[in-house]
Amino acid sequence: MNRTTFGTVEGREAQLYSFENANGMEMSVCDYGAHLVSVKVPGKDGGKKDMVLGYDDVSGYVTDPCHLGATIGRNGNRIANASFELNGVKFQLAANENENNLHSGPDGYEYRFWEVKEVKEQAITLHLDSPDKDQGFPGNFSVDVTYTLTDDNQVAIHYCGTCDADTVANMTNHSYFNLNGHDSGDVLKHAVCLKAGCYSPVADSKSIPTGEHAAVAGTPMDFTKEKTIGLEIGADFEQLKLTGGYDHNFIIDRDGDGLQLFAVVRGDQTGVVMEARTDLPAFQFYTGNFIDHVKGKDGVVYTSRTGFCLESQYIPNAINEEKEDKPILKAGETYDTTTAYRFIF
């Protein structure tokens, strides 16, 4: 493990923690926002390619419009009308995307320093206390996020928390991956297979799901057999037009408990394969449609579709949908979920 200063935020130094496994793969995590800053994978030429979009220092993350590598909480994705009812009480959140709440509002967990609770040779645990009514959510929520770099080349992200009142808990990681390297241009030729026979159509460009679990078969949303991201992203299909490309929730075809393989992606230039697993019911597949000339690491300018996200989650706006599994954490119970990304190179 190596720790370096990663710049300052309002006079406080941010720290970057870097780890390497037995195979030469590297992972870097920042205590500001519990960001996943880099994942470097050895190449056949002897060098290493960084597979995660990000910034050279913490200043980029302070003003980041895209949530690159961010730990999102308390709730990832969207809540309609920035409000929900729990135990007969209505809770109002910040309306930061149209009239809806996106990624818990402008005061997300990615814009705060986390306490470094424990550092091991290939893992780091960061801690955050989120007080009652923080972002509008009920209860004092105490949460840890642990990043582990394993010797089978996984970046495993474990969330563990408790709350003293019933609350919403639906955290995720918002890393943008490019398996050709963060500086290699668009991901349209990446080959993708998703273990999802259904997705959540959105009602309009505000991207709130309709509540339908629509079959992907016969539509451009079908990735049950491997195809490239770019093959049908520009198809004459209403759902893709509403969101400017893929930016939809997919429902995992689960065949048991525990970690479920839900996505396999292959970089066309490097041949690097990423397998994604989670114990959650769904994930957001987003192709970076709205990245707009963001200056990232090494002076690289990120533009539309230069990275893709696989954000594990409960179905967006599930808290307001009677038929969906709701992301409710009961008082005194433990929020405990893991998502892992394994790289094959």
Annotated binding-site positions for beta-D-galactose: 77-78, 174-176, 247
β-pairing verdict for 141-149 and 123-130: antiparallel
Which is nearest to 316 in space by CA: 263, 247, 249? 249
Does residue 99 have an active-site annotation? no
Instruction: Tell me if the bond preceding 74 is cis, omega within 30° of 0.
Output: yes
Which is nearest to 281 in space by CA: 308, 309, 249? 249
Chain-centroid distance of CA 342 in Å reads 15
Chain-centroid distance of CA 22 in Å reads 26
The full DSSP string for 99-136 is TBEETT-TT-GGGSBPEEEEEETTEEEEEEEE-TTGGG
Catalytic residue (choose from 35, 67, 103, 174): 174
Question: Residue 182: what residue type?
Answer: H
Q: Enumerate the H helices of the chain as residue ranges.
A: 58-62, 238-243
d(CA 34, CA 57): 14
d(CA 102, CA 79): 7
Q: Which residues define the annotated binding site?
A: 77-78, 174-176, 247
Contact call for residues 182 and 213 (beta carbons, < 8 A) = no
Does residue 311 have an active-site annotation? yes
Q: Which residues are identified as catalytic?
A: 174, 311
